[in-house]
Amino acid sequence: MTTKAKITAIIAAAAFILLIRLIFFGGSAAGLKPVSVQAGQDLTYAYDSGASFYSYNSNGFFFCTKDGVKYLSSKGVQQWEEVINLTSPVLYGKCDFLAVGESNGRAVYVFNTLGKTMECSLDAQALDFSVNRNGDLTVILQTSSGYRVETYEPGKDEAVWYYEIVEPNMYPISADTSPDGKVTAISVLDLSPDAHNSMTTQIMFMYTDKSDMLKLASADGVFAGETLPDQIARVYFMDNRLLAVSDKYITAYSVGGKDKVKQDWQLVLANKISQFSAFGEAGFSFITGDPLPGSGRPSEAGILNFYNMDGRRTGKYAFGGGADYLSMNWGGAIVGSGGDFTAVNNRGGVIWQYKSLTGLKQLIFLDNENTALSVGSTSAYIMRRGA
């Protein structure tokens, strides 16, 4: 394997990983029980099915395997089903939209709560993808000459915009499109020999709307850029702000008038981020890991932090070192380690705690903070307080 291929494989793997899975109010575990689903709609699946689930502030949830995607109500009743064919599905959710593909695959599907909205057949391997709240899909492809970033809109068979990266030592990590579909941001890792640091992330802001492109002197649509020295960062559009999450900072940018990008705020990290999760476009949470080298005042490992999109911390909760799981919905989060899980609201207050006797792949909120989906290797159970 060439050096470029190795770096590409590492970046692709990191991109998908970073994207990036109840004792109630001090009561007893007996207060939470599985809720029976409709006959014939049991949530069981094969060990190697690649089963994953996604839900966002709705009365239902997506159930994805390598053979298909289903949407079920919070009572477990199937609403619809779409057949797909993937070896190892990867999910990316934003608000009520879900994109499903796989690393190095050539197809990406987009769904909302009513069914499939898009099926993209790609002419090159997909390294990463994202979807915005209106169902626009952004894909990073590896081509024979380098890389290409494409944006698709629902109802259109071909990409509405694309950008090619052919410069050596430039590796796209992530890309996302704004909610109005007019701007795409690409995070590119610069490993060129003349870089000022051993590695630098370049964030490029580009117009994807043709009428906006015509206003620029450059033909490629690039109207602004940010340089993040000695960092690897992923980018997420959170409403009208772009969030850049690196191993040293969390930074929010806003796109203003006259082709300007402004840094709204920046959070300097004292600890590594062990887990990160976003709540639609309203806020995010993360768990602190080990202290960063040279950090003056690191916090303990295992601190769950909640932030809104104004950069203000709204709450925190000390789970303890070793937290290895985080999911977020309804503004709250579920943090876990091994079989111990705690649900916390965004002010840092404990909602409920749950100890699982079997290993769980996911534990996620469903239609409210009192309903959760417990996901194991071969089955999933809807659990409610007082069921």
pLDDT one digit per residue (tens) for the chain, 387 residues:
455 554 554 454 444 334 332 323 223 333 345 554 444 446 899 999 999 999 999 889 999 999 999 999 988 889 999 999 999 999 999 999 999 999 899 999 999 999 999 999 999 999 999 999 999 999 999 999 999 999 999 988 899 999 999 999 999 999 999 999 999 999 999 998 765 557 899 999 998 877 777 677 666 778 889 999 989 999 999 988 999 999 899 999 998 766 689 999 999 999 999 999 999 999 999 999 999 988 888 989 999 999 999 999 999 999 988 899 999 999 999 999 988 999 999 999 999 998 888 889 999 999 888 899 999 999 998 888 765
Residue 340 lies in a domain: no
Q: What is the mean pLDDT of the chain?
A: 86
Instruction: Count the domains in the chain.
Output: 1
Q: Where are the beta strands (DSSP E) in 170-246?
A: 170-177, 183-190, 200-207, 222-229, 233-238, 241-246
- CA distance to 75, 311, 380, per residue, from 46 (Å): 22, 42, 12
First to last CA, the chain: 54
pLDDT in tens, 242-297: 999 998 999 999 987 666 899 999 999 999 999 999 999 999 999 999 999 888 88
Per-residue tokens: 200: 């630098």
Q: Is residue 185 part of a domain?
A: yes
Distance CA 130, CA 100 (A): 9
pLDDT tens sequence across 177-187: 999 999 999 99
User: Is the residue at 341 inside a domain?
Assistant: no
Tens of pLDDT, residue by residue over 10-35, are 454 444 334 332 323 223 333 345 55
Which residue type occupies 139?
V
Give me the CATH number covering residue 14: 2.130.10.10
How far, in Å, are 165, 205, 238, 380 from residue 226 at the CA level? 17, 8, 17, 43
The answer as to whether 320 is a domain residue is: no
User: Residue 325: CB partners within 8 Å, gap ≥ 6?
Assistant: 21, 275, 334, 335, 336, 337, 341, 363
Residue 319 lies in a domain: no
In a domain, 32, yes or no: no
In a domain, 284, yes or no: no
Q: What is the pTM of this model?
A: 0.88
Range of the domain at 146: 1-20+122-268
262 burial (CB, 10 Å; 0-12 / 13-18 / 19+) is: exposed
**Does residue 201 sit within a domain?**
yes
DSSP code string of 70-98: EEEETTS-EEEEEE---SS-EEEEETTEE
